[in-house]
Amino acid sequence: MANQDTPQQEEAFTSLESIGEFNLIEKLTRDFPLRQGSSLVGIGDDAAVLDFNLEQTVITTDMLVEGVHFDFTYVPPRHLGYKAVVVNLSDVYAMNARPTQITVSMAVSNRFGVEFLEEIYAGIRLACEAYDVDLVGGDTTSSYSGLVLSVTALGVADEESIVHRKGAKPTDLLVVSGDVGGAYLGLQVLEREKAVFMGNKEMQPQLQGNEYVLQRQLRPEARKDIIELLQGLEVRPTAMIDLSDGLSSEILHLSKHSGVGFRLMEEKIPIDPTVYKLCEEFSLNTTTIALSGGEDYELLFTLDVKDHDKIKGNPNLSVIGYATDLAEGNNLLTRDNQIIELKARGWNAFKEDTTP
Amino acid sequence: MANQDTPQQEEAFTSLESIGEFNLIEKLTRDFPLRQGSSLVGIGDDAAVLDFNLEQTVITTDMLVEGVHFDFTYVPPRHLGYKAVVVNLSDVYAMNARPTQITVSMAVSNRFGVEFLEEIYAGIRLACEAYDVDLVGGDTTSSYSGLVLSVTALGVADEESIVHRKGAKPTDLLVVSGDVGGAYLGLQVLEREKAVFMGNKEMQPQLQGNEYVLQRQLRPEARKDIIELLQGLEVRPTAMIDLSDGLSSEILHLSKHSGVGFRLMEEKIPIDPTVYKLCEEFSLNTTTIALSGGEDYELLFTLDVKDHDKIKGNPNLSVIGYATDLAEGNNLLTRDNQIIELKARGWNAFKEDTTP
């Protein structure tokens, strides 16, 4: 009855699966011209850039949905609160900015008690303390099923400090912080133990030896330290992004925005020993996991070659490749000297199964 | 298994109903000291105030959940998108600020098609155009059931222009824009026609004559015009809030934050003729609806008596009472000269039934 002014919507139907997340966002958000002089960058980067006079402000937002992004069977609510903040701050750092405030909105069904929500907020509080950000607003409401958390983060930076996804040029070095693939394997361990637990509720989970990947999945950190390190070294990345969807997918983002190709060297990809061990246990290819496993929240950036000496030998940073002309495409150089085209195979918000 | 570090949460259980929304928020958000010099006002007002140098920034956020805040049986998706933006902008105006940017996050189940979501964004776009704000970010993800929309709005104002919930003083006039109760009756009409429709799907809804209240419910506007009017008249409210939860509830907010009481005069409350007519149809008390019906998105503010002449006779503004000493409490002076204590009976996020 109320759809009289939009009768066509009953007829046409394009499923979300068929269009894909990025196309959907592009489709939905086109035709939104920027009107404010203070809106310097809108949709399309890790965060939007606003100019409020002397310092520039960045704002970013992420929504986490129960059953899609987390499973309370094995995610402690305190860790969820912490992670919900961290994933947003990671986007702020990926702009080379300093996070300053967050807002948190939450929809919850009456399945949850106050104490449970307090635990979520205890995690949010821990993150605020660890990263020196202020919770300055939010909304709490009911839902008919499950829990949804929506966090928005603001940050500030000098105009000349902000780093975008665009800006990489051929010959720039491709650098990643920390190591990759751990968060994905943490999820596999948790899912395996959940299956065992569901089969026999007397069973205790076997998590020993896998602490590193579990922490990567359950309680990730944003790389504040890397931003501070680069500033101390007076190194400004030419382009930067955080690793939420997997290395392949993020390299392709940098490629698209910067108009360059990338050559990634398999032997240079930093991988923790626990990840090698678990890939064997799960019969998974380690490089596939490194390329497609999401949620590592490391920083991926490009540097002018003249800055190489400044970061060389730093155990937190790995040079994993370099930018090329766009025409050369985005490729992986394998250990046995084969060249394989990189494809985005990371997290797709409208699929339930994220197995690479 | 994963709750080993928080074992106590399995034992204690306080239901959300028993604690109430405001207590819950207070409980969850205490112990969040503000750390940034730029955080001037955090939780507790219509919007947080941030100081980014010369101009101050306000940020506010609201989450709308299907089945809780809207019902697609009678809410066209385009109207939903428009309203989701407007309810946030209303909070920005309630700070006497000018909205500048929004972010929109959305969780959707695969029950929805692309076209339907495009309609939602068409409504968002219309609101951006009408209020001259920029969409600068967001997140789109899946949900297992229903649709959740989370909007965050930023606005700017000079430091001396921002108006808080605190600031009212005894003898100040209490003023409301437009009229009240319409949105609630719009909802009643829609629910009535839905019930008829569910009983017999061949029935066409009877909406004629009720266009005003339907528009108040389905496609509300934020009072940008009132903020501009007051600026033109060089009137700065001493305290201000927007009407989302009902007149009683918002008066009590102003009372609590400003440390004053209020005397509200029943005969002065502005009510549209359609509301009188429908209250008779539904056997509802008009004043009860005016006090407790939510979602009117009018502005409620206090003025120094010296400004009375400037606004007197303006058809968009009604003086409905005045502030008193706190000790006198918050009361309604009825048409027959009775004095009745005002109670908050507006929207409670954790109850499904909002009938006053």
Secondary structure of A5-68 in the HEC alphabet? HCHHHHCCCCCHHHHCHHHHHHHHHCCCCCCCCCEEECECECCEEEEECCEEEEEEEEEEEECC
Percent of chain B with pLDDT over 90: 54
Distance CA B146, CA B63 (A): 13
Structure confidence at residue B210 as a pLDDT band (50, 70, 90):
very high
Distances (CA, A) of A232 to A62, A93, A227, B6, B204: 29, 15, 9, 39, 69
Q: Cα–chain-centroid distance for residue A276? A: 22
What pLDDT does A158 receive?
80
What pLDDT does A351 receive?
32
Q: Which residue in the set B28, B60, B193 is minimally distant from A121, CB to CB?
A: B28
What pLDDT does A12 receive?
65
Report the range of poorest mean pLDDT among A286-295, B62-71, B124-133, B311-320. Answer: B124-133
Which B residues, 103 through 132, put their C-beta within 8 Å of a C-beta on chain A? 103, 105-108, 110, 112-119, 121, 125, 128, 132
Distance CA B218, CA B184 (A): 10
What pLDDT does B308 receive?
96
Query: Which chain A residues contact residue B16 at CB under 8 A?
Result: 108, 110, 112-114, 142
Paired sense of beta strands B98-108 and B134-142, if any: parallel
Q: Which residue in the set A1, A4, A35 is minimally distant from B132, CB to CB?
A: A35
Asked whether residue A25 is assigned to any structural domain, the reply reads yes
| Distance from the A323 Cα atom to the nearest Cα atom in chain B, whole angstroms | 28
Domain boundary among the residues B107, B132, B157 is at B157
Distance CA B127, CA B122 (A): 9
Residues A263 and A127 in one domain: no
What is the pLDDT averaged over residues B203-210? Answer: 82
DSSP letter for each residue of B264-331: EEGGG----HHHHHHHHHTT--HHHHHHH------EEEEE-GGGHHHHTT-TTEEEEEEEEEGGG-EE
Predicted confidence (pLDDT) per residue in A267-290, tens digit: 999 999 999 999 999 999 999 999
Say if A5 is an interface residue toward chain B (CB within 8 Å): yes
Q: Which residue in the set A112, A117, A132 is minimally distant from B35, CB to CB?
A: A132
Residues B89 and B33 in one domain: yes
What pLDDT does B138 receive?
80
Asked whether residue B350 is assigned to any structural domain, the reply reads no
Report the range of poorest mean pLDDT among A278-292, B29-43, B213-227. Answer: B29-43
Residues B202 and B304 in one domain: yes
Distances (CA, A) of B50 to B30, B37, B40, B252: 19, 9, 6, 26
Which B residues, 146 through 185, put their C-beta within 8 Å of a C-beta on chain A? 146, 148, 150, 152, 154, 156
Structure confidence at residue B15 as a pLDDT band (50, 70, 90):
low
Structure confidence at residue A46 as a pLDDT band (50, 70, 90):
low
Say if B22 is an interface residue toward chain A (CB within 8 Å): no
- At A198, is the secondary structure helix, strand, or coil? helix
pTM, rounded to two decimals: 0.86
Whether the predicted pLDDT of B41 surpasses 70: no
Structure confidence at residue B94 as a pLDDT band (50, 70, 90):
very high
Residues B245 and B104 in one domain: no
Answer with the residue of higher pLDDT: A221 or B115.
Answer: A221
What pLDDT does A58 receive?
84
Paired sense of beta strands A55-65 and A48-52, if any: antiparallel
User: Do A15 and B113 make contact, defined as CB atoms within 8 angstroms?
Assistant: yes
Residues B22 and B132 in one domain: yes
User: Do A113 and B13 make contact, defined as CB atoms within 8 angstroms?
Assistant: yes
What is the pLDDT averaged over residues A130-139? Answer: 84
Domain carrying residue A200: 173-341
Distance CA B10, CA A161 (A): 47
Asked whether residue B355 is assigned to any structural domain, the reply reads no
Q: Give all strands of the β-sheet with A55-65 in edge-to-edge order.
A: A39-41, A48-52, A55-65, A147-157, A98-108, A134-142
Measured in residues, chain A has a length of 356
Whether the predicted pLDDT of B35 surpasses 70: no
Predicted confidence (pLDDT) per residue in B68-77, tens digit: 899 999 999 9
Residues A180 and A137 in one domain: no
Report the range of poorest mean pLDDT among A316-320, B132-136, B224-228. Answer: B132-136
> B329 burial class (0-12, 13-18, 19+ CB within 10 angstroms)?
middle
Structure confidence at residue A344 as a pLDDT band (50, 70, 90):
confident
What pLDDT does A198 receive?
84
Structure tokens at A267: 């032997």
Q: Cα–chain-centroid distance for residue A348? A: 12
Whether the predicted pLDDT of A121 surpasses 90: no
Asked whether residue A227 is assigned to any structural domain, the reply reads yes
Say if CB B176 and CB B237 are below 8 A apart.
no
Domain boundary among the residues B133, B157, B181 is at B157
Asked whether residue B219 is assigned to any structural domain, the reply reads yes
Structure confidence at residue B101 as a pLDDT band (50, 70, 90):
confident
What pLDDT does A37 receive?
56
Split into its structural domains, chain A has a count of 2
Residues B22 and B145 in one domain: yes
Q: Give all strands of the β-sheet with B48-52 in edge-to-edge order.
A: B39-41, B48-52, B55-65, B147-157, B98-108, B134-142
Structure tokens at A246: 């997997």
Residues A20 and A136 in one domain: yes
Predicted confidence (pLDDT) per residue in A2-30, tens digit: 333 433 334 466 665 666 545 654 655 56
Residues A246 and A122 in one domain: no
Among residues A350, A297, A254, which one has the least CA distance to residue A85? A297
Say if A40 is an interface residue toward chain B (CB within 8 Å): no
Residues A145 and A188 in one domain: no
Answer with the residue of higher pLDDT: B207 or B63.
Answer: B63
Among residues B179, B313, B12, B28, which one has the least CA distance to residue A140? B28
Whether the predicted pLDDT of B350 surpasses 50: no
Q: Where are the beta strands (DSSP E) in chain A?
A: 39-41, 48-52, 55-65, 98-108, 134-142, 147-157, 173-177, 239-242, 260-265, 299-303, 317-325, 330-333, 339-341
Whether the predicted pLDDT of B311 surpasses 90: yes
What pLDDT does A53 receive?
65
Say if CB A239 and CB A163 are below 8 A apart.
yes
| Distance from the A266 Cα atom to the nearest Cα atom in chain B, whole angstroms | 31
Domain at B213, CATH number: 3.90.650.10
What pLDDT does B53 receive?
65
Query: Which chain B residues contact residue A78 at CB under 8 A?
Result: 5-6
| Distance from the B313 Cα atom to the nearest Cα atom in chain A, whole angstroms | 35
Q: Cα–chain-centroid distance for residue A232? A: 25
Percent of chain A with pLDDT over 70: 82
Residues B193 and B294 in one domain: yes
Whole-complex ipTM? 0.84
Whether the predicted pLDDT of B355 surpasses 50: no
User: Within 13 Å of residue B100, how many CA atoms lie on the same side as its CB?
Assistant: 25
What pLDDT does A221 receive?
97
Report the range of poorest mean pLDDT among A26-30, A55-59, B11-15, B323-327. Answer: A26-30
Q: Which residue in the set B2, B31, B57 is minimally distant from A52, CB to CB?
A: B57
Whether the predicted pLDDT of A32 surpasses 60: no
Asked whether residue A115 is assigned to any structural domain, the reply reads yes
Nearest chain B residue to A108 by CA distance is B350
Distance CA B265, CA B324 (A): 13
Among residues B314, B308, B331, B288, which one has the least CA distance to residue B178? B314
Report the range of poorest mean pLDDT among A212-221, B111-120, B180-189. Answer: B111-120
What pLDDT does A115 receive?
75
Considering chain A, what is the average pLDDT of its residues? 84
CB atoms within 10 A of CB A190: 23
Answer with the residue of higher pLDDT: B108 or B260.
Answer: B260
Asked whether residue B238 is assigned to any structural domain, the reply reads yes
Among residues A235, A259, A40, A62, which one has the least CA distance to residue B101? A40
Structure confidence at residue B341 as a pLDDT band (50, 70, 90):
very high
Whether the predicted pLDDT of A182 surpasses 90: yes
Considering chain B, what is the average pLDDT of its residues? 84
What is the pLDDT averaged over residues B27-48? Answer: 52
DSSP A180: S
User: Do A148 and B143 make contact, defined as CB atoms within 8 angstroms?
Assistant: yes
User: Do B36 and A134 make contact, defined as CB atoms within 8 angstroms?
Assistant: yes
Between vectors from CA B270 to CA B267 and to CA B275, what angle results, nearest 5°? 105
Predicted confidence (pLDDT) per residue in B145-204, tens digit: 789 999 999 888 887 888 989 999 999 999 999 999 999 999 999 999 998 888 888 877
Query: The tokens 């490089």 sit on which residue?
Result: A287
Residues B207 and B272 in one domain: yes
What pLDDT does A63 receive?
93
Interface test with chain B among A23, A104, A119, A141, by most B beta carbons within 10 Å? A141
What pLDDT does B226 receive?
97
Domain at A58, CATH number: 3.30.1330.10
- At B164, is the secondary structure helix, strand, or coil? coil
| Distance from the A8 Cα atom to the nearest Cα atom in chain B, whole angstroms | 9
What pLDDT does B32 receive?
52
Structure confidence at residue B14 as a pLDDT band (50, 70, 90):
low
Which A residues, 53 through 92, put their C-beta within 8 Å of a C-beta on chain B? 53-55, 57, 59-63, 65, 67-69, 73-79
Asked whether residue A168 is assigned to any structural domain, the reply reads no
Beta bridge partners of B51: B56
